[in-house]
Structure 1
Amino acid sequence: MKKLYTVLLSLIFSSFLASAQKKNEAFQLHIQRASSPIRIDGILNESSWQNAEAAKDFYMITPMDTSHANVKTEVRLTYDDQNIYMSAICYKSEKGAGYVVESLKRDFTFGKNDNFFAVIDTFDDMTNGFSFGANAAGAQWDGQMFEGGSINLNWDNKWNSITINDDEKWVFEAAIPFKSIRYKAGIDRWGINFSRLDLKANEKSAWAPVPRQFPSASLAYAGVLLWDSPPPTPKTNISVIPYFLTGFNKNYQTDQSPSYKTEVGGDVKIAVTSSMNLDLTVNPDFSQVDVDRQVTNLDRYELFFPERRQFFLENGDLFDNFGFANLRPFFSRRIGLNVPIRYGARLSGKLNKNWRLGVMDMQTGASPDNITPAQNFTVFALQRRVFARSNISALFVNKQSIDLPDTNKTVSLYNRNLGIEYNLASSNNIWTGKMVYMKSFSPNKTGDDFTHAFDIVYNAKKWFWHWRHEYVGTNYNAEVGYVPRKGYYKANPTITYNFYPKTPSSPIFLHGPSLGSTTFFDKKGKAIDHETYFSYTVNFKDRSLLSGWVAYDYVKLLAPFDPTNSGGDTLATGTDHSWKAFGVDYTSRPRGLFTYLFSGRYGGYYGNGSRLGLKGEMGYRFQPYVSLTLGLEYNNIDNVNVPVKRDEVLKNNMVNTEFWLISPRVDVTFTNKLFFTTYLQYNQQSKNVNLNARVQWRYKPASDLFLVYTDNYLPENFYIKNRAIVLKFTYWWNV
């Protein structure tokens, strides 16, 4: 292990020596102050646009990254004291060609829409930034960028845009207020790139070239935006976002009278500096947030659902991305779990080009049954940029119970976590990785209360390899985090090779094999979980995908486990289980009006049983107004041998069961400001039918009226369990 650390550390050190020079330094676009007022109407006839320098001659990313794009795109920028203005002329592959979009839904799925967007690196640090754009029908896209190429589309802010179409092109025009983004005053150089996806031509392109193994949003390959003078320093920048809510809910299972409520609350956003923001919230409400998609859970551990609540999203990567996907010391959805949030504050942003800071404090109330007391959550994050694009981060998390009775043994008085990590990102993005160490502090839990992990990724055009190992102590405790299992060592190597056909007429974009394994060891070094898989994937030029795989699994149960996760008999602790399985996955090309995907697996299961799993999704769109989706999932568990004691006699109980999960969804986008979504989920495993319907009217930028209706039923007879309806009004007011 010491030799491995030496090799890996030498690789990291070599990345330190890599030049911090931007790969696309030569791609420079000059922006000058507008010479005339700009009207956002999609008609680019103002003299300011005629005088603006154009970013054109885009480079193809896929299917090939060795030539200019076939479809032409021209982008121009200008600004005044309030806004930065952006226009993009997206020429069509042939005259009269239509476009491909899902709907007018905001923050659409990138790969299913003809679209244009910009990535803006306001600190020119190739790590953090903002993204703005639209699909060809005018649906807006905005997000906050982190980790050099990831975009959080749940982030939402105030800006205006319009898109118009004709036979030869579609035109996007936008005004983005300086108040809606964060940047350092006095800087006259930003990073920037522009991305275009044309599904008719099966072509993805960018102004500054990006290698095809990376996303077009990769800030490591952004060009340079040069200002004629530093962007205006925002004056008073305070936004008040109040809400008013009224509604009722009724629990039919307890036959109680309906409960009516009226609430008032809201948020305040204060720009302490042009790059540092203070967010305040009082009595927040998140009833309008999209309902979580249900899944059939056949896993032994807790499932993860992402954060969608707006207050927690800006600079959320400072807090939520510390650690790894299954090793998070902080997970914001732990705050306000079945209890009300009373108030909170968050200070976050850039201190300068090299330092980022995040401080958050949230206060929750007690649960209605008083089992969970009022609690305070404090999180502190500090990040320092080092070398080209890497950084070192520290995180402190504290959960403190308030007025906790001595008789309450189910809730801890406090839980604290302290951690440090190094994030590696080479200047060309080929090497990425992370080293992390965390320690927890809890009453009566000392010794073996820490975790450490290492991750390294090499991502070149043909070769991809990944190594990760973890150790999580038995007493490591992250009550405000997401750590599904404890007391293990883990090793996880993966290697992939990509073949790129040399024949231009080939329908295949790339194909290749992948081999990987994941092994968990106990404290004595004995394997307790192991999975090895081999897969082969074919990516077609029309963006469809086909993959097949085989796998071998071994599990030694560390706790009793119901193999159906439905409240049935359990397999005993210490029992060994192993099986083989195979599967296939297919996703259709996104440009068709009818799209579908299919996933199937068959093989062994716990208790010498077998499992058949089938999953699919079909969609049809009447673009751009209506999108219909039907999700289906079927699992059949057969002949699982579960020895159980009945009348003090050990008997072999053969478990046979099946689960359906059916989830039709209808999205109607009357305009890009008026949306209707209804979502039905029938989950046989959890014995629940959920109906969620939501109307959203964005009557002004970032200001909404919501009407949300929710029902839960018993699936056997559709007897109503509970019902709720909420009317919510929000308004974004810039002081």
Structure 2
Amino acid sequence: MKEFIFFLLVAANVLWGQNHPSKKMILHKTDELIRIDGKIEYAWSQADSSTDFVQFSPFHGKTPSVKTTVRLLATDDALFCLFVCQQKKEDIQRLTGVLDNFTGDAVSLMLDTFGNRRTAYKFAVSASGVRSDCLLLDDARDRDYNWDGIWFAQSKIYDWGYVVEIKIPFKSIQFTRGLDEWGLDFDRWVSSEKEDIYWCIYEENEGQRISKFGRLVFDNFKITTKSAHLEIYPVGITKVSYLSQKNYEVNPDFGLDVLFNPSEKINFQLTANPDFAQIEADPYEFNISRYESYFAERRPFFIEGNEIFKAAGRQRHSGFYRPLELFYSRRIGKKLPDGSEVPLLFGAKASGRIAPYEYGAFLALTGEAEYESDGEKQTEERAAFGSVRLKRQILNNSSVGLLIVNKSTSHENNGVIDVDGAFRGASWQLAYQLARSYKNNSGDFAASAGFTRLSKRWLALMRTRYVGENFDVDGVGFVPWRGTGELIAITGPRWYFPEGDISSILFYGGGILNYEKVDAFTDRGGLLGFNMQFRSNWGGEMTFVIANSKDENIRYQFYQANANSWFNISPDWFANFYVNFSKTYNFSRDYLAFYASGGGFFRWNVIEQLQVGTSVNFFVEGNKDNEIEEVTFNSRPFLSLTPVNNLNVRLYFDNVGFRSTKRFEQTIFGLLFSYNFSPKSWIYLAINEIRDCSNEYDSLGQLLPTQLHVVDRAGVLKIKYLYYF
């Protein structure tokens, strides 16, 4: 029996263990003052340093074309980092930008302060001094750019290159107390060479992994500063709404946001009289399926810190598997059929870590709202929304979690209980999810799972999903596919080339099963695909699908062909495009026909302070006679001016037109002024105007000629200031 137990322990170590990181830096403590100004001071001579970087791309494993030196120091209350980046001055791309939104040459510092080899902070700074930060999640498979920390950085450009200095107060980040080392890595993007270099070495097929970070070893000292601070944000808001002609309604208001971190193990976020207004309108969505469209959350209160409520398994570089979204915050304060919104009265969140656990809780209260639908008056009841989340790390780099989400009104309880998790190795992941919904006394089950293995020579992907017919989470989540099941499996060879113009080639094929109870049929099909990426930073992919299908009692041969490509071959512009052609059932028109779509996106850095670009999409619907029924066109051109860092003016137009009318049927004009004048302190001015060709009447009630006219116009001025204790 002892021998058997010993065998299991050895097998588990082989299966779950990771290579022990070999790179190491020593963190020395200093009492000297370090100014964050991009100048190299004498104090930095006390710091440990490293120049041992290696290319991840375009030539994996090769020596970088430029030299990078990094140094780290600590004081009683902060960590300091210095990057010295050698490069020809004329080759440095130094564009202005705002927090979490910049392009050009940049460096990054990454810290696993929890010691779990699964989660890390990333602090990035461009050559022009623009900051970006995020959380690396699930061994760097996913990222959360909604996290914003309080830290400081400055850059300075010299004839021989540029320097970046970073200061991170210990109290502004969470960490596991008592550790004598943290996980560590550095990154640098060299725009002129399209070169991505890291301090740590990663496999090309895997990408970055926190489990393979190097070590930052504390030199005979412990961090004594408590990760405790208080952030208070008074928020002043003024809304101007269009009523008719020259009539407007002005509504000044005031709100208060509070973020309190009593320790490194927990933080609280409260908001009183919140403004949850969305700054920018949703992009146009064209949908011919039988299911509702999904729109991403854009309201700051809901997206900040929401990673704790996500089910395990998301991967940033692959949208192949997405777990069921059981907490869909756009159900809270939602838009009603007449365009009005449900008022939000109060919101609160709490989250934290007590190794090996992570936990979170959420509460929001909404008020009663009256609205009109199909000419009848309706009432949206007052409601309380709540969620509780608990996750535990297991087997070094894997996790298991519990999620409960609930909406309560005077007449109904609607919610879900979910168990999810993921088993992970460096090159593979198996994610799973099992959920039970409830709506008063009824409910049903749903489940999903996804497997990915990305070896050096072979790719294998599988995902499956089952949603019971009575699985109803419409009040809290986004799972519209009731009474369905799905299974997709893909595999194929992949080649990496260390030299030459082509960096990788992938062929893949697989099978598809898709069951919908409403049709009492299981679609069966197969797919083939081809992907090629070039070392000059562009690539393309083609996919072909064929299946025996049934919709609305019509059996038919479904087929689809897709092609897409992306181009990032110049530091000054970026572009991508796609085309799609299929034979499928059009649920918006209720018949079987061909369907085609295409489009792309283009962005150009005109000068260091100005970007212009546009997205363009077209949708072609066929009819039963195999002729074109309608062509819908949508474009969203924009202009983004950033005269200095952290101050931006953005203009955009969203246009929708139809071939049948030979005109634009709707246009949305948007202007957004934003100024990040201090850490986590902003001034916003947003103006949105919607015009369409709906019926318009004069003062006598007579119908006017059809033309674009204003149906809504609104402006919001919002000032948010951080008091930091």
Q: Judge same fold: TM > 0.5, yes or no.
A: yes
- Please tell me whether residue 436 in structure 1 is matched to residue 433 in structure 2: yes
| Post-superposition offset of 1:682 | 0.8
2:14 aligned residue = 18
Q: 1:597 aligns with which of 576, 581, 598?
A: 576
| Post-superposition offset of 1:544 | 0.8
Secondary structure at the residue paired with 2:171? helix
Going from structure 1 to structure 2, the CA distance change for 1:431 and 1:584 (only over 3 Å counts) comes to: closer
| Post-superposition offset of 1:732 | 0.8
Paired residues of 2:173 and 2:227 also in contact (CA < 8 A): no
- Please tell me whether residue 362 in structure 1 is matched to residue 354 in structure 2: no
Q: 2:299 aligns with which of 309, 320, 337?
A: 309
Secondary structure at the residue paired with 1:138? coil
1:4 aligned residue = none
> CA separation in 1, counterparts of 2:684 and 2:296?
22
What amino acid does structure 2 have at the position aligned with 1:630?
T
Q: 1:536 aligns with which of 517, 525, 530?
A: 530
- Please tell me whether residue 668 in structure 1 is matched to residue 646 in structure 2: no
| Post-superposition offset of 1:103 | 4.5
> CA separation in 2, counterparts of 1:44 and 1:655?
66
Secondary structure at the residue paired with 1:220? helix
Paired residues of 2:171 and 2:225 also in contact (CA < 8 A): no
Going from structure 1 to structure 2, the CA distance change for 1:416 and 1:363 (only over 3 Å counts) comes to: same
| Post-superposition offset of 1:719 | 0.5
What amino acid does structure 2 have at the position aligned with 1:540?
F
2:620 aligned residue = 636
| Post-superposition offset of 1:119 | 1.8
| Post-superposition offset of 1:483 | 0.7
Q: 1:182 aligns with which of 174, 188, 192?
A: 174
| Post-superposition offset of 1:304 | 2.4
- Please tell me whether residue 107 in structure 1 is matched to residue 100 in structure 2: yes
- Please tell me whether residue 345 in structure 1 is matched to residue 348 in structure 2: yes
Q: 2:387 aligns with which of 379, 382, 385?
A: 379
Secondary structure at the residue paired with 1:435? strand
1:717 aligned residue = 707
What amino acid does structure 2 have at the position aligned with 1:425?
R
Paired residues of 1:85 and 1:176 also in contact (CA < 8 A): yes
What are the superposed Cα offsets for residues 227-284 of structure 1, whole Å, 9 maximum, x if unpaired?
A: 22222332751111120011211144xx694222111112111113113111111122
| Post-superposition offset of 1:530 | 4.9
Going from structure 1 to structure 2, the CA distance change for 1:374 and 1:525 (only over 3 Å counts) comes to: closer
CA RMSD of aligned residues (A): 2.6
1:408 aligned residue = none
Q: 1:463 aligns with which of 458, 462, 475?
A: 458
Paired residues of 1:35 and 1:48 also in contact (CA < 8 A): no
Going from structure 1 to structure 2, the CA distance change for 1:257 and 1:320 (only over 3 Å counts) comes to: farther
| Post-superposition offset of 1:526 | 6.3
| Post-superposition offset of 1:311 | 2.6
Scaled by the length of structure 1, what TM-score is found? 0.86
Paired residues of 2:312 and 2:431 also in contact (CA < 8 A): no
| Post-superposition offset of 1:55 | 2.8
Gap runs ≥5 in structure 2: 1-7, 314-320, 335-340, 372-377, 586-590, 659-663, 694-705
2:419 aligned residue = 420
Equivalent residue runs for 1:475-514 within 5 Å = 475-479=470-474, 480-502=476-498, 504=499, 506-514=500-508
1:706 aligned residue = 684
Going from structure 1 to structure 2, the CA distance change for 1:732 and 1:190 (only over 3 Å counts) comes to: same
Larger proportion of strand = 2
Query: Which range moved further: 158-167 or 429-438?
Result: 158-167
What amino acid does structure 1 have at the position aligned with 2:716?
V
What amino acid does structure 2 have at the position aligned with 1:613?
S
Paired residues of 1:315 and 1:349 also in contact (CA < 8 A): no
- Please tell me whether residue 578 in structure 1 is matched to residue 557 in structure 2: yes
> CA separation in 1, counterparts of 2:524 and 2:666?
33
Paired residues of 2:673 and 2:684 also in contact (CA < 8 A): yes
| Post-superposition offset of 1:475 | 0.7
> CA separation in 1, counterparts of 2:681 and 2:501?
46
What are the superposed Cα offsets for residues 164-191 of structure 1, whole Å, 9 maximum, x if unpaired?
A: 2223222211212223211122222211
Equivalent residue runs for 1:589-628 within 5 Å = 589-606=568-585, 607=591, 609-628=593-612
What amino acid does structure 1 have at the position aligned with 2:435?
M
Paired residues of 2:227 and 2:262 also in contact (CA < 8 A): no
Query: Which range moved further: 141-150 or 544-553?
Result: 544-553
1:161 aligned residue = 153
Going from structure 1 to structure 2, the CA distance change for 1:612 and 1:453 (only over 3 Å counts) comes to: closer
What are the superposed Cα offsets for residues 142-180 of structure 1, whole Å, 9 maximum, x if unpaired?
A: 112222212211222322211222232222112122232
> CA separation in 1, counterparts of 2:547 and 2:629?
21
Query: Which range moved further: 327-336 or 693-702?
Result: 327-336
Going from structure 1 to structure 2, the CA distance change for 1:363 and 1:350 (only over 3 Å counts) comes to: same
- Please tell me whether residue 227 in structure 1 is matched to residue 227 in structure 2: no
What amino acid does structure 1 have at the position aligned with 2:598?
L
> CA separation in 2, counterparts of 1:730 and 1:524?
50
What are the superposed Cα offsets for residues 539-576 of structure 1, whole Å, 9 maximum, x if unpaired?
A: 1111111222322255422xxxxxxxxxxxxxxx3223
What are the superposed Cα offsets for residues 465-501 of structure 1, whole Å, 9 maximum, x if unpaired?
A: 1112222111112231111201122111122422123
- Please tell me whether residue 32 in structure 1 is matched to residue 28 in structure 2: yes
What are the superposed Cα offsets for residues 578-619 of structure 1, whole Å, 9 maximum, x if unpaired?
A: 343323222112424243222122343435533332202222
Equivalent residue runs for 1:390-429 within 5 Å = 390-402=398-410, 404=411, 413-426=412-425, 429=426
Paired residues of 2:519 and 2:550 also in contact (CA < 8 A): no
> CA separation in 2, counterparts of 1:710 and 1:202?
37
Paired residues of 1:713 and 1:722 also in contact (CA < 8 A): yes
Secondary structure at the residue paired with 1:371? strand
Paired residues of 2:389 and 2:403 also in contact (CA < 8 A): yes
Scaled by the length of structure 2, what TM-score is found? 0.87
What amino acid does structure 1 have at the position aligned with 2:679?
P
1:134 aligned residue = 125
| Post-superposition offset of 1:67 | 3.3
Paired residues of 2:147 and 2:305 also in contact (CA < 8 A): no
> CA separation in 2, counterparts of 1:77 and 1:26?
18
| Post-superposition offset of 1:524 | 11
Paired residues of 2:549 and 2:558 also in contact (CA < 8 A): no
| Post-superposition offset of 1:508 | 1.0
Query: Which range moved further: 220-229 or 576-585?
Result: 576-585
| Post-superposition offset of 1:655 | 6.6
Secondary structure at the residue paired with 1:158? coil
> CA separation in 1, counterparts of 2:569 and 2:122?
23
What amino acid does structure 1 have at the position aligned with 2:158?
D
1:272 aligned residue = 262
Paired residues of 1:470 and 1:489 also in contact (CA < 8 A): yes
1:5 aligned residue = none
What amino acid does structure 1 have at the position aligned with 2:553?
G
| Post-superposition offset of 1:310 | 2.9
What are the superposed Cα offsets for residues 180-204 of structure 1, whole Å, 9 maximum, x if unpaired?
A: 2111222222111111121322321
Provide the aligned length of Structure 1 versus Structure 2: 674
What amino acid does structure 1 have at the position aligned with 2:77?
Q
Going from structure 1 to structure 2, the CA distance change for 1:276 and 1:261 (only over 3 Å counts) comes to: same
Paired residues of 1:144 and 1:314 also in contact (CA < 8 A): no
What are the superposed Cα offsets for residues 682-726 of structure 1, whole Å, 9 maximum, x if unpaired?
A: 123794311111111111111111111111111573201100111
2:60 aligned residue = 65
Paired residues of 1:249 and 1:723 also in contact (CA < 8 A): yes
> CA separation in 2, counterparts of 1:51 and 1:628?
45
Identity %: 22
Going from structure 1 to structure 2, the CA distance change for 1:508 and 1:595 (only over 3 Å counts) comes to: same
